[in-house]
Amino acid sequence: MTLPVALVGGLHADARRAAVERLLTTVPGSVALHHDLSTAGRGTVVRTVRGARGVRDTGETPLVNDCACCALR
Compute CA distances 36 → 8, 25, 32, 33, whole Å: 14, 22, 13, 10
Burial of 71 (0-12, 13-18, 19+ CB in 10 A): buried
pLDDT at 55: 95
- The C-alpha atoms of residue 61 and residue 67 are separated, in whole angstroms, by 12
pLDDT at 61: 86
pLDDT at 49: 94
pLDDT at 32: 93
pLDDT at 18: 95
Averages of pLDDT over runs of 10 residues in the chain (73 residues) are: 81 92 93 89 91 94 78 69
pLDDT at 4: 80
How many degrees, rounded to 5, is the angle at CA 36 between CA 48 and CA 7?
Answer: 75
